[in-house]
Each structure stands twice: as structure tokens, then as C-alpha cells.
Structure 1
Amino acid sequence: MPRLEEVVYYLRGLWLVLKGKPEGLGYLDLTEQGFWRSWWSLVYVLPPTLLSYLAVKTLVLSIHPDPGVIGVDFYFKLAAVDYGSTVITTVIFLVVARFGGFGQFAPAIVIALNWLAVPLQWAFSFENLIQIYVPGSALLTESTQFASMLLTAFLSYRIIDRIVGGSALVSATSLLTLYVVPQLSQYKIAQALALLPDL
């Protein structure tokens, strides 16, 4: 597992890339080993991930006041949706990249966005705190979630664009794949698990 100092080093590189300095990519471990190590980012975002599950629980209980509707399996299903969609998205992206002629950039894109997710998920935890502690905040929550989504897409596009050397078509294709596939896969997995059938 990468030490916190290493993660901070990676994030410093991403910050340089976002500032328009491609040399920031040199801070990342873009080797095959670095690809697999980048998945440790899921451990670093575990606290905000668990907080998001509590936010979903709050939403469910606002519709079904009976706590009995939520059991231990509820959290396992949420995890299955999260991590299942992550695996599916990554596999599909790698396939799209290979057949789209930019397979050489795909591992670096995955590595960079995996580490980018660490500060973003921690920063966006306030959305879940609003949902948990501010009753009737649906409009505020949806607004902040939309703003967060736009910011994430913008930052992701800038990083992808630097990695692929400024090819707008490749950057747009990558971003579209990485944002549309998770939405569809999460919906399908949730549907298959009969998660939140009445919402």
C-alpha cells in the first residue's frame, strides 16, 4: 500500500498537470506496478465512501421510517454497486481505448483519475453531511452534487487532455466512457440486487 507521503507526492503532480505543466505527470508512477498500486486509492477514500452509505441510509429512512427496511445486506449491496461498477467501467474503458487507438494512454489515465478521486471524494463529503444533518435538504444536496459532478468532469478532462497530448477527440471519448458507463452499470447492478426498489 502506498504511504501517505507517496499519495501526497502523486497529488502534487496532478496539481501541476491541472496548472498546465505536463511535467507533473512525472510525479506519478505510470508503470504496470503503479497501475495496480493506484487501486489502493479505494482504501484512502473508504471513510467518505462509508459516509455516503450513511447518507443513502438517511434518504431511505426519510421514505421508509421503519429502520427494519435496512439490514446489513443493504450496505453490502451498496458496496457491490460501487465496486462492481468500478470494475466494469475500467474494463470497458480499456477495451474502448484499445480499439479506439489510444490504448497506450489508458493505464496512465486510470492511474491519474484513481488518485484524483482521493482529494475530490474527501472534499465532496460535505454533500453527504448536508443530507444527513439538514432535513429536507434535497434541493441543496442535488445542487451541490451537480456542481461537484461538473467540477470533477472538468478536472478529469484537463488531466486526460494532458496525458493524450491535447487530442480533444480522445479526451472527450475517454471522459464520456468514464462517466456514462458507471451510471449505467450502477443502475443495472442496483436493479439486479433489488436495491431501493421503491425509490
Structure 2
Amino acid sequence: MRPSLPAGSPPTPDFLPSLGEILRYFSGAARLMGGQSDGLHRLDLSADGFWRSFAALLVALPPSILSWIEFERIERAGGEAGTALDYLAHATADATAWLVPILIMMSVARHIGFTRKIVPFVVALNWGGALMAWIFSPFFLLVLVIGSSDGTQALGLVVAALSIVLTVRLVSHSTQSDLPLSIAIVTMMVIVALMSYAAVSDLFGIRIA
């Protein structure tokens, strides 16, 4: 594996990868979720690749916006599109839930023997997160079209459970970590995400989850 933290500053000129690069990164993340550790070879684990992996937040933006629209129109039960402040709250919560676990792992990596694994962890997690946002976007589109029901709620639980399972596999195979450690890391990520949504809800005074 590559060294731990990349040197240098985040790149600026070509921060957003090309479509071909994005598809290659998606295929690498998919192979990792499928249990194939060679998926790492399709990811860019260089210093530039580390920083550019955060462009995954932008790549995931369209399906994320779809999920926000679905929440505002359907789950608030008001049928309204939501205000700009509502969408700012959603964006803030999603970004916090995405980035804070990464910052936590980077801060504790040395103490848990994760130093040399942090680059593949971050790169795989970023591109895997964007991939899952796109994979599960049809669910939000479905709810927008047919509305909420017992069936869609059950399907939503399946989607949530599947995303957790895939993330555990992604962490395990990208870092070559055992299953208990991978589960512990993903559990931390879920807890931080829930806390992020609660904190942003309180900050904006808006229910977003």
C-alpha cells in the first residue's frame, strides 16, 4: 500500500476527474464492495488522487439533491418543494456526515495502526460513497413518482441496510482490515451521521431526517 498521508496541498487545476476516470474509480469501488481487493488498482492512491477523491462529493450531488427533493415533497407530507434554507440544511448535514468520519479516522489512524491504510480508506470511501448515491437514486425517484407507502418504507430499510453492508465490505477490502474493525469503523460513521443530522436540524431549526 502507499504511504499514509499525502504530501502537498490539494490540487486546484483539474480537481474534477474526467468521466472516464470517474467510471474507472466507480468500477474499482464496486469491485471492493464485491470482495475483490484488486479494485484498489483502479483507484488513484497518489497524493493528487487522495485530494481529487473529494470531488466525489460533487459527483454525488445530483442524486443527493434528488433525495432532498424526495424528503421535502414526500416525507414532510406537505407536497411542497422546500425552501433554499431547507436545501442548505440538507447539504450541510450530508457534507458533515461525509467528512467528519474521515477526519476522525485521520486523527486516530496512528493510534489504531491505520496509518498506512488511511489513503486507500479515504479514496475508496469517497468514490464508494458517490457510487452508492447513484446506485440508490432510483429508490428516491420511485418514491417521488408513487409516493410513500408501507412498501416503499420497507424498501427504504433494505436500501439503508444494503448501504451499510456494502460500506463494511468497502472498508474491509480497501484496507485489508478484519471484519470486526471494519464493522466498528462503519458503526462510528453511522453514529456520526446521525449526530450530524441532529445537530444540523437543531442549528437550522428544520427537520431534515
Q: Does 1:59 align with 2:49?
A: no
Q: How many angstroms apart in 1 are the aligned matches of 2:89 and 2:31?
A: 38
Q: Does 1:104 align with 2:116?
A: yes
SS in structure 2 at match of 1:196: coil
Q: How many angstroms apart in 1 are the aligned matches of 2:68 and 2:145?
A: 14
**Pairwise CA distance, 1:4:** 0.9
Match of 2:160 in 1: 149
Aligned AA (1:159): L
Aligned AA (1:183): L
Match of 2:7 in 1: none
Q: Does 1:175 align with 2:190?
A: no
TM-score by length of 1: 0.84
**Pairwise CA distance, 1:115:** 0.9
Unaligned runs of 5+ in 2: 1-15
Contact kept in structure 2, 1:93 and 1:177, CA below 8 Å: no
SS in structure 2 at match of 1:87: helix
Q: How many angstroms apart in 2 are the aligned matches of 1:164 and 1:73?
A: 38
Cα RMSD for the two superposed structures: 2.4
Q: Does 1:191 align with 2:202?
A: yes
Aligned AA (2:31): L
Judging changes above 3 Å, is the alpha-carbon distance between structure 1 residues 138 and 71 closer, same or farther for their aligned structure 2 residues?
same
Give every structure 1 segment of 4 or more consecutive aligned residues whose post-TM-superposition deviation is greater than 6 Å: none
Match of 1:25 in 2: 40
Aligned AA (1:85): A
Q: How many angstroms apart in 2 are the aligned matches of 1:16 and 1:82?
A: 25
Q: How many angstroms apart in 1 are the aligned matches of 2:124 and 2:66?
A: 24
Judging changes above 3 Å, is the alpha-carbon distance between structure 1 residues 166 and 81 closer, same or farther for their aligned structure 2 residues?
closer
Q: How many angstroms apart in 1 are the aligned matches of 2:27 and 2:185?
A: 23
Contact kept in structure 1, 2:73 and 2:82, CA below 8 Å: no
Q: How many angstroms apart in 2 are the aligned matches of 1:70 and 1:19?
A: 37
**Which residue of 74, 89, 93 corresponds with 2:105?**
93
Unaligned runs of 5+ in 1: none
Structure 1 range deviating more: 14-23 or 148-157: 14-23
Q: How many angstroms apart in 2 are the aligned matches of 1:179 and 1:148?
A: 14
Judging changes above 3 Å, is the alpha-carbon distance between structure 1 residues 166 and 42 closer, same or farther for their aligned structure 2 residues?
closer
Which protein is richer in helix relative to its size?
1
TM-score by length of 2: 0.81
